[in-house]
């Protein structure tokens, strides 16, 4: 069991200690789940109020919060301090040492120093895995894949051929990198092409036509210090590689289509869908369930709100909201217009009988 003094924790989180009584901290928890050896995390108003009913002797609180009779560690950025504490008490997944006997390693594959390969892992021809990387059970590494140093792949990861992965990359359960892109063409113009060109579907569009698959000969390239959540899929490029920039973090169940270029330091939240050939700048935030149409560009430092339907490009530092997505100020203006329209309609209905009577009198 890990045990820390209050002084050690204060130094780790760069906080300010107001000590009422001593305590040895063995875990962290919300106030109502804390005992005498727990550092209570009171980061918000509700948690702070719950401290009066907590058994904890000490609490982590925002700067300026002091509780009579309770030892507190005040911090300027509570969530940042919480992150440091969670890393302090984190218990890493169990990893077997060296190569598990059930793993299948092609003789041409190259493994670096201190590489760990779990049960039933397949490492294909000419793949390279960097020093200190760990690949857990039931994962597949395709041919000519290059994995950097200090990477950690959770169980069930699937990496297609020729994918390049940088250093310090974390892939969670079920991640798929390098599947074929969803790219097809018909011999004659189809209804989608007609709709885009003319805004309507003309007669004959329902005729039978053959759909040809466009092969994907590109691959996927992942930068350094990237983390990708469970069951997220990133398709290979048609000709060029689909790319994910350094320090980008991607949540669970995200779909990134072929040919996309995602910048550095982006945050992409769960259930986002990005269609093929999109270009996303640096430090872009895309909130949950947003959808991006193909071939659009999003400038750096843009925020796309949850469930936004993005059908066109936006410049850098945009805040994008709604379906179809528009700049935030325009969205607020639309809401105000709708509210004003409701008031106008209500007034019209109130005076509609008088208007009808006036028209009848002048029509006689």
Distance CA 232, CA 242 (A): 14
* Of 100, 173, 209, 258, catalytic: 258
Give the angle subtended at the CA of 161 by the CAs of 131 and 183, to the nearest 5°: 140
- The SS3 call for residue 291 is strand
Is residue 173 part of the annotated active site? The answer reads: no
Distance CA 23, CA 19 (A): 10
CA end-to-end span of the chain: 95
Residue 179, token pair as written in the block = 């599947």
Question: Nearest CA to 176 among 163, 185, 193?
Answer: 163
- The SS3 call for residue 4 is strand
Write out the H or E segment, with its range, that includes residue 273. Answer: strand 273-274
Distance CA 329, CA 319 (A): 8
Query: Which residues are catalytically annotated?
Result: 258
């Amino acid at each position: 069991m890990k045990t820390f003094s209050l002084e050690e924790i204060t130094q780790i989180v760069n906080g300010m200690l107001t000590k009422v009584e001593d305590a040895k901290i063995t875990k962290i928890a919300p106030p109502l789940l804390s005992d005498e050896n727990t550092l209570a995390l009171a980061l918000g108003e509700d948690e702070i109020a719950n401290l009066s009913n907590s058994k904890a002797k000490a609490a982590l609180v925002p700067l300026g919060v002091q509780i009579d009779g309770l030892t507190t560690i005040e911090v300027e950025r509570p969530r940042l301090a919480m992150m440091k504490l969670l890393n302090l008490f984190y218990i890493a997944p169990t990893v077997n040492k060296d190569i598990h006997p059930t793993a299948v390693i092609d003789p041409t594959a190259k493994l670096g120093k201190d590489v760990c390969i779990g049960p039933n892992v397949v490492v294909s021809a000419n793949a390279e895995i960097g020093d200190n990387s760990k690949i857990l059970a039931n994962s597949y590494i395709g041919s000519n894949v290059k994995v950097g140093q200090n990477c950690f792949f959770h169980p069930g990861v699937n990496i297609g051929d020729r994918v390049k992965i940088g250093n310090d990359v974390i892939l969670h359960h079920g991640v798929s990198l390098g599947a074929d892109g969803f790219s097809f063409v018909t011999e004659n113009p189809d209804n989608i092409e007609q709709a885009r060109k003319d805004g309507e579907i003309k007669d004959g569009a329902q005729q039978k036509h053959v759909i040809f698959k466009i092969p994907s000969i590109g691959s996927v390239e992942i930068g350094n210090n990237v983390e990708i959540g469970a069951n997220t899929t990133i398709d290979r490029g048609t000709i060029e590689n689909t790319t994910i920039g350094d320090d980008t973090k991607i949540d669970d169940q995200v779909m990134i289509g072929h040919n996309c270029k995602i910048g550095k330091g982006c945050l992409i939240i769960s259930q986002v869908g990005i269609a093929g050939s999109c270009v996303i700048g640096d430090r872009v935030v895309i909130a949950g369930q947003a959808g991006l149409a193909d071939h659009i560009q999003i400038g750096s430092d843009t925020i796309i709100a949850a469930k936004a339907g993005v059908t066109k490009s936006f410049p850098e530092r945009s805040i994008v909201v709604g379906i179809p997505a528009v700049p935030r100020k325009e969205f607020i203006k639309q809401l105000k217009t709708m509210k004003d329209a409701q008031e106008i309609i209500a007034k019209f209905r109130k005076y509609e009988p008088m208007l009808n009577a006036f028209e009848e009198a002048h029509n006689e």
